């Protein structure tokens, strides 16, 4: 493993909207797989907005990964969403785990208005659909910490002149979460954890292929 390029996959821990966050559960599933073409590092990140920048910067500088892929949950989404853009806004309709409820606050003071993900999102979505997994390209990652992760990681990769492919996947809730949390009149879309883990693995392999082809 020492001679292999490192890839980092991040997911969020539990918070108000997801007691058992699928993005963290996916990390566990990825760790159970065999990764012969890369050194996989997974990182569970707490849902605390003021801690994110330092945690991401430390991980990027420690691992200098070939690929940085983040995962977050989008309650109500019926498909995997490959996010194209992270914007420089935090506007929280639900507070983070430290109680922060922000309104129109920049992710990075005086930072660029937005960053485009440099992931092969269209190829990823095509591969997911070919595997029978509902997926779509998305042009807004909202304004909560999923957007903050995409913006922050892109910003730090540029700031530190890293050659890292950076992307973000939004995943649905699991059926178990919907069954446990949603009253019958408010049932939401869901996707099985096994399918979401397979989607993350496919997306990661697509990104690795693109990086190796460009090397």
**pLDDT at position 183 over 80:** no
Residue 15, C-beta contacts closer than 8 angstroms, at least 6 positions apart? 21, 47, 94, 96, 97
- Do the Cβ atoms of 153 and 166 come closer than 8 Å? yes
pLDDT in tens, 29-62: 999 999 998 999 999 999 999 999 999 999 999 9
Q: What is the reported pLDDT for 157?
A: 98
Q: What is the reported pLDDT for 1?
A: 43
Return the minimum-mean-pLDDT range out of 86-100, 115-129, 179-193. 179-193
User: Catalytic residue numbers?
Assistant: 83, 146, 170
pLDDT in tens, 114-150: 999 999 999 999 999 999 999 999 999 999 999 999 9
Q: What is the CATH number of domain 6-214?
A: 3.40.630.20
- Domain layout of the chain by residue ranges: 6-214
pTM of the model: 0.95
Q: What is the reported pLDDT for 182?
A: 64
């Amino acid at each position: 493993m020492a001679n292999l390029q490192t890839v980092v996959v991040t997911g969020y821990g539990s918070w108000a909207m997801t007691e058992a966050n699928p993005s963290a559960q996916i990390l566990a599933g990825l760790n159970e797989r065999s990764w012969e073409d890369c050194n996989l590092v997974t990182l569970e990140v707490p849902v605390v907005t003021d801690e994110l920048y330092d945690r991401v910067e430390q991980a990027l500088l420690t691992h200098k990964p070939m690929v940085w892929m983040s995962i977050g949950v989008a309650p109500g989404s019926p498909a995997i969403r490959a996010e194209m853009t992270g914007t420089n806004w935090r506007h929280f309709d639900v507070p983070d785990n430290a109680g922060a409820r922000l309104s129109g606050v920049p992710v990075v003071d005086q930072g660029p208005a937005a960053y485009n993900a440099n992931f092969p999102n269209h190829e990823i979505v095509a591969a997911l659909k070919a595997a029978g997994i509902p997926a779509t390209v998305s042009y807004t990652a909202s304004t909560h910490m999923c957007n903050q992760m995409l913006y922050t990681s892109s910003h730090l990769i540029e700031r530190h002149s890293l050659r890292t492919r950076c992307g973000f996947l939004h995943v649905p809730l699991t059926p178990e979460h919907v069954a446990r949390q949603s009253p019958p009149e408010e049932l939401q879309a869901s996707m099985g954890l096994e399918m979401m883990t397979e989607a993350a693995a496919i997306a990661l392999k697509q990104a690795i292929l693109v990086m190796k082809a460009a090397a």
